[in-house]
């Protein structure tokens, strides 16, 4: 089994990608907090059934989807960005990204240790 087929490695990489996407979306919301008519974007995760490949079972996966909040308007110009909420969401995504990257670094460090000490 290769490293890239390992489910825990794939989960860490997918988590990093999701946290990065959240950071980008929330920073974009903050950057557009003064743009008239701008609507807040959110990252949601939807469960999807992945297609079954030959001889393999179908499995559930989480898919990140960017949605727009058109239901609220907090200002007369139509903008609904709450900067405090966006900063909190961005900080949470950063903390998640940091924790996942440390876990991935630990996993790769363990693998490096095994590779370096097996040849002796």
CB 23 within 8 A of CB 14: no
User: What tens digit of pLDDT does each residue of 105-114 get?
Assistant: 998 888 888 8
Number of other residues whose CB lies within 10 A of the CB of residue 12? 19
Taking the C-alpha atoms of residue 108 and residue 8, their distance in angstroms, rounded to an integer, is 12
| Matching residue, tokens 């007369």 | 76
Confidence of residue 89 (pLDDT cuts 50, 70, 90): very high
Neighbour-count burial of 14, counting CB atoms closer than 10 A to its CB (0-12 exposed, 13-18 middle, 19+ buried): middle
Confidence of residue 12 (pLDDT cuts 50, 70, 90): confident
Taking the C-alpha atoms of residue 16 and residue 88, their distance in angstroms, rounded to an integer, is 18
pLDDT value for 70: 85
CB 41 within 8 A of CB 67: yes
User: What tens digit of pLDDT does each residue of 29-81 get?
Assistant: 999 999 998 999 998 877 655 554 555 555 556 677 888 988 877 788 889 99
């Amino acid at each position: 089994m290769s490293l890239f087929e390992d489910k825990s490695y794939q989960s860490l990489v997918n988590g990093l990608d999701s946290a990065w996407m959240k950071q980008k979306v929330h920073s974009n919301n903050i950057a557009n907090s003064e743009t008239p008519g701008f609507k807040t974007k959110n990252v949601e995760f939807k469960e999807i059934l992945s297609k079954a490949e030959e001889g393999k079972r179908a499995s559930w996966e989480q898919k990140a989807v960017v949605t727009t909040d058109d239901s609220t308007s907090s200002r007369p110009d139509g903008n609904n960005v709450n900067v405090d909420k966006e900063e909190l969401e961005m900080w949470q995504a950063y903390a998640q990204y940091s924790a996942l990257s440390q876990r991935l670094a630990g996993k790769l460090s363990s693998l490096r240790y095994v590779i370096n000490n097996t040849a002796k």
